[in-house]
Amino acid sequence: MRPLAVVPTYNEIGNISRMIPALLELPGGLEVLVVDDNSPDGTGRAVEGFAGTGRVHLLSRPGKAGLGQAYVAGFRRALAEGYDPIIQLDADFSHDPARIPEMMAALENADFVLGSRYCSGVNVVNWPLSRLLLSYFANHYTRLVTGMPVSDATGGFKAFRREALAKLDLDGIKSDGYSFQIEVTYKLLKAGCRLAEIPIIFVDRDAGTSKMTRSIVWEAVWMVWHLRFPWLF
């Protein structure tokens, strides 16, 4: 087993210097791949400061090109270099890295694991009511359109077996944000992969700036129809 955490960043210098040590302290020799979109705040340079550990790697991209494509780039590197399993999480501690060992253990009976905010009630801390309602009803809308039996289709805290991730057509993934998370989960389920959801508590960031925009929301609104009825598009 050679586990890897893929962490996309853009202007996350206030978080990444804390997140990397938290990941390295986990059992199992987890390695870290930070995919940075040329952050002007020096996030990439902060990551390079951990190079001496031999377990932290930086994939620099020339500019801000979206969360989904950052993950795609990270997944390509992970598959090419033989990592297994592969974990994805945010850099801002909204996903608790301490839950990763539990997610990896759940892969014994699943092909990919989703850390869910909604599979055991609503477990979100520090979000305004408007943001919480948007997320909750976006997931209800997604289930209604796609038929996916998933409580948190927009969740971004995931762990994959290598064999499952290799089933994705990475060239065919063009979405970002919420819709990227939906697209990956939908396509893996359609490929016959087994999903396990485990409850997590999602805590909103206390450093840095949210990347949520209206365009991300609207992309997700239309993406679910494209996934469910591709012949119409």
CATH of range 4-232; options 3.40.50.2300, 3.90.550.10, 3.20.20.150, 3.40.50.300: 3.90.550.10
Mean pLDDT of the chain: 88
Domain boundaries of the chain, sorted by first residue: 4-232
3-state SS of 35-103? EECCCCCCHHHHHHCCHHHCCEEEEECCCCCCHHHHHHHHHHHHHHCCCECEEECCCCCCCCHHHHHHH
What's the pLDDT tens digit per position in 168-205?
999 998 787 678 999 999 999 999 999 999 999 888 75
Confidence (pTM): 0.88
